[in-house]
Structure 1
Amino acid sequence: MGAASFFVCPLTPERWNDLEDLFGPQGPCYGCWCNHFRMPQRLRMPLLGEGARQLFEDRVKKGPPPGVLAYAEGKAVGWLQVGPRAHIPEWNNPQRASTPLPDAPADDERNWAASCFFVRKGFRGKGVTGALLDGAIDFARTSGARLIEAAAMANQDKRSAEGLYVGPETMLLRAGFVEVARQKPGRPLLRLVL
């Protein structure tokens, strides 16, 4: 199954049930529901599980779409959180691999981040991540983004699938991203100018 086998589109309120089905009742990443970079840990931890699910559902209903879903045979098989850096403030902290550079400040809504990937078990290693990234690039372009950045995981062959939620370096490089900084060992900050 190649990337051409997948349909990718923004997560709108009408597609919320598809995301819930993809994430499962507990939600991915120990009940995070893609709130990890949206708020400080002290506020996020008490919400894990149902509180985090409700918070993210409210975010999706409010709009704009916070990312893209990949579908195979009518079922959601992958998710990529992608949008303006300003929407995920914790991604911009000075201690992170994803700390913004002076030429791409976080408060400029045209500077986007691809921060979290999730692929359904049984579909990993089948091109879903690449399809998600292609769809995210299209979504960013049509939304007026100037660039997309990702703080990828280098040496991903030694990491678990869960550790790759930030994206594998090799796949991002194949998509045309280039390294612009390495603020933490093994975590290059990659950029695609649109």
Structure 2
Amino acid sequence: MSIVVHPATSYDDVATMVGPKRPDANVCWCLSYRLATSKENRELVGTDRGKRVRKLVRQDPPPGVLAYAGDEVVGWAAVHPRSDTSFATNRKIPHVDDLDVWSLWCVRVRPGHRGQGIVNALIEGAVEFAREHGAPAIEAYPVDNRGAKVDLTMAYVGTLAMFERAGFVKAADTDSVLNRFPRVLVRRDLRN
């Protein structure tokens, strides 16, 4: 199966990947880190979250990338300049230096399509998307699970091993914990 990754400019496909089954449900929509402040995240509820995503997919750059198997959307990765995310001010995730890096904070594959290499394609697609938009480096904040099973609802951040396989290197420990696992900051330099 051939997987292609494109910028997330289709609202319907983003909704398939991260939207709720009921439009009025108050779910993440992958906005929790994309919104600059936790106050904004708390106040944006129900259908307003989907409306915000509709605006984001029309912006340049859009809020991430989508993976396709043929015409079917099978994966999503949220990637954007860190300065446009809550990682810009997050006290638990350090800044390694002053580079204007991009953040990759969510990788999702649709049920029924897992175990087919889609995660690898998504990470590479996110890296290329950031590179094409002039990012000097890209960071992610996966859990260091040391091979232990990660609950699927919390697996969206990825694992250290997954990102190391994609050429990222551990750049720092963080004070963040998810699903009882410490999160680490990994980075891939894009200046070469």
Scaled to the shorter chain, the TM-score interval is 0.7 to 0.9
CA distance in structure 1 between the partners assigned to 2:104 and 2:90 by the alignment: 18
CA distance in structure 2 between the partners assigned to 1:62 and 1:36 by the alignment: 18
Work out whether 1:133 is the aligned partner of 2:123.
yes
Question: What is aligned with 1:118?
Answer: 108
Question: What is aligned with 1:17?
Answer: 12
* Structure 2 CA distance for partners of 1:30 and 1:190, relative to 1, 3 Å: farther
Letter in 2 for 1:122: G
Candidates 174, 177, 191, aligned match of 2:168 = 177
Count the aligned residue pairs: 181
Equivalent position SS for 1:80: strand
What is the TM-score when the length of structure 2 is the normalising length? 0.85
* Structure 2 CA distance for partners of 1:158 and 1:138, relative to 1, 3 Å: same
CA distance in structure 2 between the partners assigned to 1:161 and 1:125 by the alignment: 13
* Structure 2 CA distance for partners of 1:181 and 1:67, relative to 1, 3 Å: same
Deviation at 1:93, TM superposition (A): 2.7
* Structure 2 CA distance for partners of 1:140 and 1:43, relative to 1, 3 Å: closer
* Structure 2 CA distance for partners of 1:24 and 1:187, relative to 1, 3 Å: closer
Deviations 1:127-175 (A, max 9, x none): 1111100111111222111000011111163311221211221110011
CA distance in structure 1 between the partners assigned to 2:38 and 2:90 by the alignment: 15
Equivalent position SS for 2:51: helix
Work out whether 1:87 is the aligned partner of 2:87.
no
CA distance in structure 1 between the partners assigned to 2:148 and 2:54 by the alignment: 33
Candidates 178, 188, 191, aligned match of 1:192 = 188
Candidates 46, 56, 59, aligned match of 1:59 = 56
Letter in 1 for 2:61: P
- Which runs of no fewer than 5 residues in structure 2 stay unpaired? none
Deviation at 1:44, TM superposition (A): 1.7
- Indicate the structure with greater helix content: 1
CA distance in structure 1 between the partners assigned to 2:132 and 2:36 by the alignment: 27
Deviation at 1:25, TM superposition (A): 3.6
Equivalent position SS for 1:56: helix
* Runs of 4+ that moved beyond 4 A: none
CA distance in structure 1 between the partners assigned to 2:141 and 2:21 by the alignment: 26
Contact map agreement 1:26 1:49 (CA 8 A) in 2: no
CA distance in structure 1 between the partners assigned to 2:118 and 2:169 by the alignment: 21
- Which runs of no fewer than 5 residues in structure 1 stay unpaired? none
Candidates 136, 147, 158, aligned match of 1:167 = 158
Deviations 1:59-113 (A, max 9, x none): 212332221000113111110011211111x12334223x322343xxx3xx111
